[in-house]
Amino acid sequence: MSDVEKSEADKAFARGARPHLIEGGRTVDKATTLDAIAEALSFPEYFGKNLDALYDCLTDLSWLPAGEHVLIWSGSSLLRERDPKAYLAIRSVLSDAQRALGPSGDRRDSRRLTVVLPD
C-alpha cells in the first residue's frame, strides 16, 4: 500500500467508513478495471462485467455491511493514459453511483459510496 493509499484509508477509518483499495497497476483496460473494482468491493458472482452491471452493483452493495464504503483507486491515471474512452466511461459510472448513494440520491439506504482518485 502506497503512502497515498494509506492516508486515504486512514481518513476513511477515522470517520467510520470502510476503505476498499483498487490496485491501480492492474487497471490497464476496461476489462481489468471492472475486475479490479469487482474484487475491491467483493461483487457477487453474478456481476455481468459491463458498465450497466457495474452501476447496478455499485448502487446496491447489499452484500457489504451498512455504512459508508470508500473506493480508493490510486493509479487511475494508467487507464486514463492507455484507454481514455474506457477511463471516462468508468469514471462516469463511478460518479453516477456515488451521486445515487449520496445523501440526496435516489437509492439511499444504509450504505453510502464515496469514490477517491488520489492521483
* CATH code of residue 110: 3.30.370.10
Give 100's contacts (C-beta < 8 A, 6+ positions apart).
59, 106, 107
Find the domain containing 104 and state its range. Answer: 3-116
pLDDT of residue 11: 86
pLDDT of residue 71: 96
Residue corresponding to grid cell 452493483: 57
What is the model's pTM? 0.89
Name residue 19's amino acid: P
Q: Which of 64, 78, 70, 71 is nearest to 25 (CA)?
A: 78
**67: alpha, beta or left? (left if phi > 0; alpha if psi -120 to 50):** left
Domains in the chain, number = 1
Over the stretch 46-72, which tens digit does the pLDDT of each residue have? 999 999 999 999 999 999 999 999 999
| Angstrom distances, CA of residue 111 to CA of 35, 39, 76, 94, 98 | 22, 18, 24, 15, 11
Q: What percent of the chain has pLDDT over 90?
A: 70
Give 95's contacts (C-beta < 8 A, 6+ positions apart).
115
Name residue 83's amino acid: D
Show pLDDT as tens, one digit a residue, over the chain (119 residues).
677 777 888 888 888 899 999 987 889 999 999 999 999 999 999 999 999 999 999 999 999 999 999 999 988 999 999 999 999 999 999 999 999 987 665 555 688 999 999 87
Strand bridging mode 67-74 / 111-116: parallel
